[in-house]
Amino acid sequence: MKRHLSVEDLARDGRFVRVNIEDRMNDPRNLGGPGAYGRDAAEQADDGDRAARRGLGRMTPDAPNAPDAARSLMHGIFVGEIQALEGAGRTCYDFDLGEGPEEVPYALKLDMARQCWDESRHCEISVKLTESMGTEIGEFGESPFLFQAACNPDALLRLAGVNRALEGLAIDVFHTMREFGDKSGDPVLEFCEDWMLADEVTHVKMGSDWMRKLTVDDPERRARALEFQSVVDKLFSLGGGRSDDEDSPIRLARRFRQMAGFTDEEIDQIADVSREAREEADNRLAARRATATAG
Amino acid sequence: MGKVTITPEAFTLVLFEVDRIRDRAAEIAATAGLDGDVHLEVDETNPLARLRVISWEPIELFAQGGAFEDSRRLRHLSDRNLSESLGRLLFRVKDRLDPGFADAPEDEKLSLAQQNVWDVYCLGRLAAAGYDVAKPRWHYHFRLRHGFTDLSDAAFERVWMSDGLSWADLDAVCMETERARTAG
């Protein structure tokens, strides 16, 4: 069996369509604001100038776009779970046992196998939730960024990118969806998200624990892993869509991150990185608008 | 049958075919029983999916480009979303011209629940006419606005299968589901 697959090797049946993040970022319509299920200026009047300029706002059931925004996000969670399952499976298989930098301890493989078990359950739950929300499998495109992070040849960077950064994002997203389920009165969404959230805390904690254990005598390797995690955190702050700010569509779930082994300092760093991502996105938008006006 | 015109006459930011939009709009206008001219403005600069009936005499419609877009292929037309969005607009125009809807509030004054039940009424008729409509999607929309209850589900089915309703009928559904929500 092949080891160390590339993201291009990721197989899907005909229902799934791959969408590149570059296509989304380079959408010429981005001058105006968000994706199709964002909020337009009329809906953002109370959000202040910053959110209004980029169409972001809290995901609440009473927003006009709420039903399709929730469906789109749930489908994104679903494809993320498939990739998380595949990623954990790769990490379980791709490395020989040992103590060397290109090897992993048996206990780490055991944790990855445990994660596979959890993620396959999440796939099943997500399929049922997408069905209950009236969404077809493959109705929305799939960006393979989570699996891409799991393709890193260094097991430690995989844990940093997937378990700490992307599963950390999953904590924030599931927390948001759990609140959405509660406020909307959906009898299953809140409980399913809460159940999956508990597992994600465990997965992130696995990443936190292994990062510390594998680098206890190698601070340089730890610094590289944390830097990679920070890059992924920033990339997937969704242009500021995930942050500590009250008006963010996805709020940083501080309490759950603490349970997952993040220190307050680390959480503050993620909040800072998210703020930077938001400012950079605002600046890019302003520059593109200026170019368009001049042209 | 009236004439259908589209603005813009050619798209530059999205890969939409004007002829396809025009032909589908004409087809659905006829299905809805409309015989006046129809003008549709599509805002291709905006990937959001808002729809508006600007006026019903003459028939002037507005759609943000995302309303017709394929959620899997950015900037491409989706056949189903095109039909559903045009159906929501044109059947609503049909209703606005019906004396039974004379006391319906202006679109801007409709609550989310009222907008939704009216959309469901439009889409049910579109589906009955043989168009591809994602009924489970709109059922979820209805549940979010009217509650996750057996009464709400029954109301959805009733409205979906109906024709010949009045504004009072639709508003009564909203009041019924709201009572069930607040009682629960």
Residues of B in contact with A62 (CB under 8 A): 112
Instruction: Note whether B113 and B154 are same-domain residues.
Output: yes
Instruction: Note whether B52 and B131 are same-domain residues.
Output: no
Across the range B128-142, mean pLDDT stands at 98
Domain boundary among B96, B125, B155: B96
Instruction: Note whether B87 and B113 are same-domain residues.
Output: no
Least CB–CB distance from A40: residue in B48, B69, B141: B48
Predicted local confidence at residue B184, as pLDDT: 61
Domain boundary among B50, B65, B96: B96
**What are the CB-based long-range contacts (under 8 Å, 24+) for A203-206?**
A203/A84, A203/A115, A203/A118, A203/A163, A203/A167, A204/A163, A204/A164, A204/A167, A204/A168, A204/A171, A204/A257, A204/A260, A204/A261, A204/A262, A205/A259, A205/A260, A205/A261, A206/A111, A206/A114, A206/A115, A206/A159, A206/A163
Residue A243 has pLDDT above 90, yes or no: no
Contact between residue B93 and residue B56 where contact means Cβ atoms under 8 Å apart: yes
Instruction: Note whether B36 and B119 are same-domain residues.
Output: no
Q: Is B8 an 8 Å CB contact of chain A?
A: no
Q: Do A35 and B136 touch (CB under 8 A)?
A: no
How far does the CA of residue B44 sit from the closest CA of chain A (Å)? Answer: 8
Please give the interface size between A and B, counted as residue pairs whose CB atoms are below 8 Å apart: 98
* Top-confidence range, A48-57, A240-249, B131-140: B131-140
Across the range B77-82, mean pLDDT stands at 97
Across the range B86-110, mean pLDDT stands at 97
Q: What percent of chain A has pLDDT over 70?
A: 86
Instruction: Note whether B122 and B174 are same-domain residues.
Output: yes
Instruction: Note whether B20 and B92 are same-domain residues.
Output: yes
CB-based contacts of A160, cutoff 8 Å, min separation 6: A207, A211, A225, A226, A228, A229, A232
Locate the chain A residue with the closest alpha carbon to B143: A186
Instruction: Note whether B34 and B75 are same-domain residues.
Output: yes
Find the domain containing B151 and state its range: 105-183
Instruction: Note whether B79 and B111 are same-domain residues.
Output: no
Locate the chain A residue with the closest alpha carbon to B70: A140
pLDDT in tens, A23-69: 777 788 865 444 444 555 555 444 444 443 444 466 889 998 899 99
ipTM exceeding 0.90, yes/no:
yes
Residue A269 has pLDDT above 50, yes or no: yes
Instruction: Note whether B170 and B114 are same-domain residues.
Output: yes
Across the range A112-139, mean pLDDT stands at 96
Entry pTM: 0.88
Predicted local confidence at residue A31, as pLDDT: 53
Instruction: Note whether B11 and B92 are same-domain residues.
Output: yes
Least CB–CB distance from B74: residue in A24, A132, A138: A24
Q: Which candidate in A21, A23, A29 is best for mutational testing of the B interface (most B CBs within 10 A)?
A: A29
Across the range A14-18, mean pLDDT stands at 94
Cα separation, A288 vs A31, in Å, equals: 7
How far does the CA of residue A185 sit from the closest CA of chain B (Å)? Answer: 7
What's the structural domain count of chain B?
2
pLDDT in tens, A129-182: 999 999 999 999 998 888 888 888 999 999 998 898 888 888 889 999 999 999
Residue B160 has pLDDT above 80, yes or no: yes
Angle at B98 (CA atoms; ends B95, B103), nearest 5 degrees: 85
**What's the maximum distance between 2 C-alpha atoms anywhere in chain A?**
60
How far does the CA of residue B35 sit from the closest CA of chain A (Å)? Answer: 31
Cα B43 to chain centroid, rounded: 17
Residue B73 has pLDDT above 50, yes or no: yes
Residues of A in contact with B69 (CB under 8 A): 36
Tokens encoding B176: 């019924």
Low-confidence winner among A71-75, A225-229, A269-273, B166-170 (lowest mean pLDDT):
A269-273
Q: Strands of B4-7's sheet, edge to edge?
A: B4-7, B38-43, B59-64, B51-56
Q: Do B144 and A66 touch (CB under 8 A)?
A: yes
Domains of chain A: 35-294 (1.20.1260)
Residues of B in contact with A184 (CB under 8 A): 144, 148
Tokens encoding A152: 């890193």
Least CB–CB distance from B47: residue in A27, A136, A187: A27
Residues of B in contact with A55 (CB under 8 A): 48
Predicted local confidence at residue A238, as pLDDT: 66
Instruction: Note whether B64 and B122 are same-domain residues.
Output: no
Domain boundary among B96, B122, B146: B96
Q: Is B138 an 8 Å CB contact of chain A?
A: yes
- 3 state SS of B97: coil
Instruction: Note whether B61 and B14 are same-domain residues.
Output: yes
Closest CA to A68 of B64, B157, B180: B64
Across the range B20-30, mean pLDDT stands at 97
